[in-house]
């Protein structure tokens, strides 16, 4: 079950992301196991989960392995790599590729707590070492 160090070629939708979160938390899982983790919160059924899993397999984000009459699914990409790629796209698209305007926007809109600011300051100090 080797994982890729890059995001899939195609973007992952919000619905597909919910399935990925389940698989990043625990895998391998059957479609029914994934449904147990995401269906109630999203008002989905097992056919919906199977459709989403099929899309993720097609995108190269999820792999399968047969187990009897069913398949088990596992992520082929690391969560951290996915988050890194999505973060980069957000900064590129909305803030001209610069992170400082993102932080300014969050600070101006009171989206950062004191704990967030302390964590960012500590991270910056660590990065400068």
pLDDT in tens, 55-90: 999 999 999 999 999 999 999 999 998 888 888 888
Burial 7-28 (b: 16+ CB within 10 A, else e): bbeeebeebbbbbbebbbeebb
3 state SS for 43-111: CCCHHHHHHHHHHHHHCCCEEEEEECCEEEEEECECHHHHHHHHHHHHHHHHHCCCHHHHHHHHHHCCC
Q: Which fold has domain 1-97?
A: Arc Repressor Mutant, subunit A (1.10.10)
Provide φ and ψ at 110, rounded to 5°.
55, 35
pTM for the whole thing?
Answer: 0.76
């Amino acid at each position: 079950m080797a994982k890729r160090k890059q995001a899939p070629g195609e973007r992952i939708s919000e619905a597909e992301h919910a399935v990925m979160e389940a698989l990043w938390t625990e895998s391998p899982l059957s479609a029914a196991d994934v449904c147990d983790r995401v269906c109630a919160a999203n008002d989905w059924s097992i056919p919906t989960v199977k459709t989403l899993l099929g899309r993720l397999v097609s995108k190269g984000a999820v792999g399968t392995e047969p187990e009897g009459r069913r398949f088990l699914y596992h992520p082929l990409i690391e969560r951290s790599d996915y988050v890194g790629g999505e973060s980069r796209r957000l900064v590129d698209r909305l803030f001209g590729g610069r992170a400082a305007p993102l932080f300014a926007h969050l600070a101006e809109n009171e989206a950062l707590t004191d704990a967030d600011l302390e964590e960012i300051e500590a991270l910056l100090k660590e990065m400068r070492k």
